[in-house]
A = this chain, B = another copy of it.
Amino acid sequence: MSEKIKIALIGLGTVGTGVARVILEESERLTRRCGKQIELAKVVVRDKKRPRMIDLPEEIVTDSLQEVLDDKSISLAVQLIGGIHPAKEYMEQLLDSGKDVVSANKALLCEHGSELFSRAREQGRSIAFEAAVAGGIPIIHVLNQAMSGNQITSIEAILNGTSNFILSEMFLGSRDYEDVLQEAQELGYAEADPTLDVDGTDAAQKLCLLTQLACGTKVSLDQFPRQGIDTLALDDLLYADELGYSVRLLAVTRISNNQLEMHVQPTLVQLDKPLAQVNGAYNMIALEGDIVGKTWYSGLGAGQNPTASAVISDLVDTVAGRNKLIFPFMDLWDSQQPLEVLPAEKIRRRYYMRFNVLDQPHVFAEMADILGRNQISLASIIQHETPETGESNTDEQQVVPVVIMTHLTTEGQIQAADKELSELKSLLPNRVIMPVLD
């Protein structure tokens, strides 16, 4: 008869329900994987009366976190509630009452991870968070253990499944952004308020966590450019394809000369690269280490079961005593020399630009002049003779799309040119500018 470990589950939403189900239905499997019997001793919910998607013994369901804090026989809490408050206060109380914590809350760890990790270390407890980044892809395990001989030199990743679903469905089905977004909401891939997914915030929080883990330096959202997919049109995906690229919401960190280059932006990726071939709600992370070279990891980035799988792996690691031997060595936050984040304006890449211009003399000369004065040189230009998607402005003057691929230039020069271009009367305001992944 193996030792019994009592655990609490805080939060019974989609992921919490999935985790509870695996603990209850696969208890023999989990015992085999960690040598101990995992007993779900308490489940803390906000509203005990709300209907649940899982049958639980009534006596373990409570709306009081205090019951868990007071129960010294519970040594581990799986905390699956989103947002910053009260998630932060809950985690602090759980750690202070001597419990190891498993969390999936990327926003909380991105913003307050440094304090929470210090607190856990002071209390001799551990925090595990495989489920906070890229759901079913075990990227935290990979960074903490499999890459331990390496300095990570680059992370190139699709970290938001909602955005990837929208981009790939737009392209594959020749559909508009709004149309696909609505389908994503119906399928449960996108929230009722999809802002944090489609504006790049979610991917940026995950990139911060990965970068902090890979480099041991604290980075925050305001230190790097962040742009979502909500300004893209189907046309951009079609032009990109014509040029030999796929558009992906890419989260990138490059580490060189003690400097970090970071950005989260819709990005042109060459069609033959693995990142260009990821469709639907999948995530992919391309990780480069100085010893191992380049490696790729792909799987579903969200959803009840993939995320539950990640939570369970942390739970099993913690119960087996492994996480106590992983957590102290995470290269997180203040464990190393802080690295400088390259200022946005110095990031050097090639760019895709689409302008909708009024079809009148001198427009192109004015545009080219602005780009030239900003040291931006052009690699290729597409202006189709019969624009299929020409719009008309109020004066019935014809509008034609012009697509430009630049040679290497900087985000600073692009921004300066964009500001001047915005003042051209012959350019419509809906410009799209995206970097290229090289």
- Give the interface of A toward B (CB within 8 A): 18, 22, 26, 29-30, 32-35, 130, 136-138, 141-142, 145-151, 272, 274, 277, 289, 291-300, 305-306, 308-313, 315-317, 320-322, 325-326, 328-329, 331, 335-336
CB distance from A146 to the nearest CB of B (A): 3
Task: Assess the A146–B151 pair: CB atoms within 8 A.
Answer: no
Task: Assess the B329–A320 pair: CB atoms within 8 A.
Answer: yes
Q: How many copies of this chain? A: 2
Task: Assess the A295–B292 pair: CB atoms within 8 A.
Answer: no
Given A292-B305, A299-B295, A306-B292 in contact, is the A316-B148 Cβ separation under 8 Å?
yes
CB distance from A235 to the nearest CB of B (A): 24
For A292, give the chain B residue with the smallest CB separation.
B309
For A29, give the chain B residue with the smallest CB separation.
B151
Q: Which of these, B146, B296, B335, contacts A296 with CB under 8 Å?
A: B296
A-B contact pairs, 19 of them (CB 8 A): A29-B149, A30-B149, A32-B331, A35-B329, A138-B145, A141-B142, A141-B145, A141-B146, A145-B322, A146-B313, A147-B313, A148-B316, A148-B317, A292-B309, A293-B305, A293-B306, A295-B297, A320-B326, A321-B325
Task: Assess the A293–B300 pair: CB atoms within 8 A.
Answer: yes
Residues of chain B with a CB closer than 8 A to A298's CB: 274, 295-297
CB distance from A369 to the nearest CB of B (A): 43
Task: Assess the A149–B325 pair: CB atoms within 8 A.
Answer: no
Q: In the complex, what distance in Å separates the CA atom of A166 from the CA atom of B359? A: 53
Residues of chain B with a CB closer than 8 A to A325's CB: 320-322, 325
Residues of chain B with a CB closer than 8 A to A315's CB: 149
Q: In the complex, what distance in Å separates the CA atom of A296 from the CA atom of B295? A: 11
Q: In the complex, what distance in Å separates the CA atom of A296 from the CA atom of B134? A: 13
Residues of chain B with a CB closer than 8 A to A299's CB: 292-296
Q: In the complex, what distance in Å separates the CA atom of A294 from the CA atom of B305? A: 11
For A305, give the chain B residue with the smallest CB separation.
B291
Residues of chain B with a CB closer than 8 A to A292's CB: 136, 299-300, 305-306, 309-310
Residues of chain B with a CB closer than 8 A to A274's CB: 274, 277, 298
CB distance from A236 to the nearest CB of B (A): 23
Residues of chain B with a CB closer than 8 A to A30's CB: 148-149
Q: Which of these, B138, B148, B289, contacts A142 with CB under 8 Å?
A: B138
Q: In the complex, what distance in Å separates the CA atom of A298 from the CA atom of B32? A: 28
Q: In the complex, what distance in Å separates the CA atom of A150 from the CA atom of B308? A: 10
For A279, give the chain B residue with the smallest CB separation.
B272
Residues of chain B with a CB closer than 8 A to A146's CB: 130, 138, 141, 310, 313
Task: Assess the A291–B33 pair: CB atoms within 8 A.
Answer: no
Given A30-B149, A148-B312, A321-B325 in contact, is the A297-B300 Cβ separation under 8 Å?
no
Task: Assess the B308–A149 pair: CB atoms within 8 A.
Answer: yes
Task: Assess the A32–B313 pair: CB atoms within 8 A.
Answer: no
